[in-house]
Structure 1
Amino acid sequence: MQVWSVPLGKPPPQIDRPSAPLKTNGPAFAAQCKDWDEWEKPAPPVRLHANTYLVGTCGIAAILITGNEGHILIDGGTEVGAPLIAENISRLGFKLRDVRIILQSHEHYDHVGGIGRLQQLTGAQVYASRAAAKVLETGVAGADDPQAGMHKPFRSARVDHVLADGVPVRLGNLMLTPIATPGHSPGALSWHWGACDGGVCRRIVYADSLSPISRDDYRFSDHPAYVAAYRAGLARLAAVECDILATPHPSASAMVERLGKASIEDPQACAAYASDIGKKLDERLAKERLK
């Protein structure tokens, strides 16, 4: 038995407890948020596993991965939502200036509109896919985006590094790997990495939204190369090792329900998610053939 020797008048040493544990903050998130909730509604941060935290709003996810040489943030919400993400990072006890890299999922204003503001607050470098980089630097969706013209312009950001599919991003003891998953947007990326809490290691995947949504006059079937790239990305996502799935819109992967139960592990989640998106794409193409 271990016996603590405590000097008279001093409190015993305390065991560090992780901030925002899933057991308590998961249900707190679910109590405050609902499916397809407001993009700028504050939500509590949640420790998903080990050094990986959900730090976004009720309706828009952002993911913080902490490391020994600084932290990586994926997505920045809207420009109005960016300060809420910054506040959640601070609530967890981390310094904004220790966020060294900001990554993206897909280049629409509800997920990257706040990156310019967060880059200013943190001093972080922004890494983006080649197609997304152009959008981040102009604040306007590219002409080849199925949703081009649907969204208002957003605050631009300085892109410091262009990413390549499958080439990891490294920062100290962190390594995150991008998966090119175009479809919802041309420059969309999904991300996967490992996280260990003591001897309990899990593979975490932040899978892009991927739904085949577009402006009224866009037809996916008129762009066969794009559809082929769309399907290839889904296949890559389905094949990746995946214990915990998160998505840019929490409700796209039943995150609110899963957080409410404080149970978010499912090794089949990524394959099921990719399969569901594939079916939605098939349905969209079938509808287009009828017009």
Structure 2
Amino acid sequence: MSLVEFFRIKMKKVSLFLSLAITLFCNLCFAYPVGNPFPPFRVAGNLYYVGTDDLASYLIVTPKGNILINSDLEVNVPMIKKSIEALGFKFSDTKILLISHAHLDHAAGSQLIKQETKAKYMVMAEDVPVIESGGKSDFHYANDTSMYFPATTVDRTLHDGDTVKLGGTVLTAHLTAGHTKGCITWTMQVMEHGKPYQVVMVGSLGVNPGYKLINNTTYPNIAKDYEHAIKVLKSLHCDIFLGAHAMYFDLGKKYALLNRSVINPFVDPEGYKKHVAQKEHEFYTELKKQESALSLKSA
């Protein structure tokens, strides 16, 4: 082994150690885990994964520029940028920035991305006040400073059923509120080997700890919104199942199979149905729990 090769191997080990150390440090310092770097890859067609091992971000490449979905935490932005560049694309070509919903783990990096790319930021109407206040007007986390993030100006206000178009790609915004008042499930079509596939990116059906589903003064219709969101997701046709968090759709497991299987593992309509059914069960379990607690209290 030459001296040059020796030092090259040593530097790779040092670089890996520093990367892991920085990730660990960030996870300890931030209220919300930043996630670990994950290899960027093409999901199908012009759709790419550029997020961490849990906080999902997606790049949609078009001839007129690119669309980025989810800015994640502010500390994740360099990871997202690095992933985009590793795929051979320019971060500066990001023309449109979208999010799944207005929580810091999906939207805290938006201001920084806007500054670096000049992308147009598009958010569902019901989440715009939260984004532009940096989380201070959130129905649940308004008094939790650990959930605040850089306030960011929204360039286009979206409504249920609106489409976002760029370079021949069309995304549809479905309002699936409950988790936040303006939570979005995105759908789009991609072409793979001459065949069209319907992509569904679930915003979230999760009922966070502490959410009041009954007598919620800051979100009176929360339970009805969750029920509506469940109906919407049940009505959507899904071929490729994705979401705001990698754990929704078993990212690690499917990525490991990506180059080993003839069938794209992300084509998972049954996994989508199972996820929605599981979240529906969790919602109604929590609702009944809160109803029972209220009945006992008033008895």
Q: TM-score, normalised by structure 1?
A: 0.82
Q: Does the aligned pair in 1 maintain the 2:100–2:183 contact within 8 Å?
A: yes
Question: Unaligned regions of 5+ residues in structure 2, if any?
Answer: 1-31, 259-264, 294-299
Which of 49, 55, 63 does residue 50 from structure 2 map onto?
A: 55
| Deviation per residue, 1:235-267 (Å, 9 max, x gap) | 111211211111111012222222222222112
Q: Which of residues 143, 157, 163 in structure 2 aligns to 1:162?
A: 157
Deviations 1:177-227 (A, max 9, x none): 011011111111010000113402211111012211143xx4202246221
Aligned pair in 2 of structure 1 residues 255, 92: CA closer, same or farther (>3 Å)?
Answer: same
On the 8 A contact 1:147/1:213 being kept in 2, the answer is no
Deviations 1:65-118 (A, max 9, x none): 111111111100100001110111111111122111001101110110011111
Which residue does 2:242 correspond to in 1? 246
Q: 1:229 to 1:107 in 2, by over 3 A?
A: same
Aligned counterparts of 2:142 and 2:254: Cα–Cα separation in 1? 33
Q: Which residue of 2 aligns with 1:87?
A: 82
User: Do structure 1's residue 226 and structure 2's residue 222 form an aligned pair?
Assistant: yes
Q: Secondary structure at the match of 2:188?
A: strand
- 2:231 corresponds to which of 228, 235, 242: 235
Summarize the Cα distance change of 1:38–1:44 in structure 2 as closer, same or farther, 3 Å threshold: farther
Give 1:141 deviation, angstroms: 4.4
Given that 1:209 and 1:252 are in contact with CA atoms closer than 8 Å, whether structure 2 keeps it comes out as no
- Unaligned runs of 5+ residues in structure 1 are 1-36
Asked whether 1:113 is paired with 2:108, we answer: yes
Check whether the contact 1:245–1:265 (CA below 8 A) recurs between aligned residues. Answer: yes
Deviations 1:26-75 (A, max 9, x none): xxxxxxxxxxx952421110211011011011120101111111111110
- 1:268: Cα distance to partner? 2.8
Stretch of structure 1 that moved more, 231-240 or 122-131: 231-240
1:1-291 matches, cutoff 5 A: 38-144=33-139, 146-150=140-144, 151-215=146-210, 218-223=211-216, 225-262=221-258, 263-291=265-293
The higher relative CO (CA closer than 8 Å, separation ≥ 6) is in 1
Q: Conserved in 2, the CA contact under 8 Å of 1:40 and 1:80?
A: no
Distance in 2, matches of 1:141 and 1:61, equals 24
CA distance in 2, matches of 1:261, 1:90: 24
**Identical aligned residues as a percent:** 29
Q: Distance in 2 between matches of 1:43 and 1:252?
A: 16
Aligned to 2:228, the other structure's residue is in SS state helix
Relative to its length, the structure with more helix (as a share) is: 2
2:175 aligned partner, one-letter code: A
Between Structure 1 and Structure 2, how many residues are aligned? Answer: 252
Q: TM-score, normalised by structure 2?
A: 0.80
2:27 corresponds in structure 1 to none
Residue 3 of structure 1 is matched in structure 2 by: none
